[in-house]
Amino acid sequence: MTADLFDGLETPAPAREPLAPGAMLLRGFARPDEVELLAAIAAITAQAPFRRMITPGGHQMSVAMTNCGPFGWVTDRSGYRYDAVDPESGQPWPAMPPLLRELAENAAREAGFPGFASDACLINRYEPGAKMSLHQDRDERDVGAPIVSVSLGLPATFLFGGLKRTDKAQRHRLAHGDVVVWGGPARLAFHGVAPLADGEHALLGSRRINLTFRRAR
């Protein structure tokens, strides 16, 4: 049974769910554009393929990733940073398609952050067992802009905590097309993704794709 069929057995969630002051979950917000979004992602990854980057501590990430837009987030033994050049190809990251940029702008506006202009889109690919440990997004020069995170494919458990790593994290199930936006007082909240459960999605098979839009510079 596909993840979509499981979704159909659940009680529909409210379209807008506040997670904390400054943080909002928009249920199904990206779903109307699912086919076009997946086509855009395929074109991006044809130019800049997914790769599992190495952390400064020498560990390989369980999540494979790539980027599009003027800047891309990278990690290696020298640290975390944004770079205008893909270190694997030596070429600029693929341009951010207008569809992606407009999705991020519209979601941010819906969540109460008008005027958001993203210059970096991180594209993460999760396969069963992949996870993202609790962390803060603080590599951006200006943390006044929100983060916009789009979920596609298999459902995931999103962990959303407080401003301290020790704060208890809420657990939220994110389905295909859900978008989370956080900024303002929640901008530096710790967050992560629990290990992805096995499953089969009608469009993406046994994978989850996450788009994270940021203002890097």
pLDDT (tens digit, 9 = 90+) per residue, 37-68?
Answer: 999 999 999 999 999 999 999 999 999 999 99
The pLDDT score that the predictor gives to residue 1 is 40
The pLDDT score that the predictor gives to residue 133 is 95
Residue 142: closest CA among 181, 183, 180: 183
Average pLDDT over residues 18-30: 98
Please state, in angstroms and rounded to a whole number, the distance separating the CA atoms of residues 111 and 121.
18
Task: Check pLDDT > 60 for residue 8.
Answer: no
Q: What percent of the chain has pLDDT over 90?
A: 92
Question: What mean pLDDT, rounded, does the chain reach?
Answer: 94
191-193 and 64-68 beta bridge pairing? unpaired
Task: Check pLDDT > 60 for residue 3.
Answer: no
Query: Using alpha carbons only, how large is the chain's radius of gyration in Å?
Result: 16
The pLDDT score that the predictor gives to residue 93 is 98
Residue boundaries of the structural domains of the chain: 3-214
CA torsion, ordered 89, 91, 135, 211, to nearest 10 deg: -100
Tokens of 182: 């956080």
H or E segment to which residue 158 belongs:
strand 156-160
Tokens of 101: 């940029």
Confidence band for 165, pLDDT divided at 50, 70 and 90: very high
The pLDDT score that the predictor gives to residue 121 is 98
Asked if residues 161 and 134 have their Cβ atoms less than 8 Å apart, the reply is yes
Q: Which amino acid does the sequence have at 156?
A: A
Asked if residues 16 and 24 have their Cβ atoms less than 8 Å apart, the reply is yes
Q: What percent of the chain has pLDDT over 70?
A: 94
Task: Check pLDDT > 90 for residue 74.
Answer: yes
The pLDDT score that the predictor gives to residue 4 is 47
45 phi and psi angles, rounded to 5 deg? -75, -15
The pLDDT score that the predictor gives to residue 142 is 83
pTM for the whole structure: 0.92
Average pLDDT over residues 159-169: 97
Tokens of 96: 């951010």
CATH number of 3-214: 2.60.120.590
C-alpha dist (Å) from residue 121 to 12, 58, 205: 29, 24, 23
Asked if residues 80 and 139 have their Cβ atoms less than 8 Å apart, the reply is yes
Please state, in angstroms and rounded to a whole number, the distance separating the CA atoms of residues 93 and 185.
31
Task: Check pLDDT > 80 for residue 2.
Answer: no
Furthest C-alpha separation in the chain: 48
The pLDDT score that the predictor gives to residue 14 is 55
Please state, in angstroms and rounded to a whole number, the distance separating the CA atoms of residues 5 and 3.
5
Q: Which amino acid does the sequence have at 213?
A: F
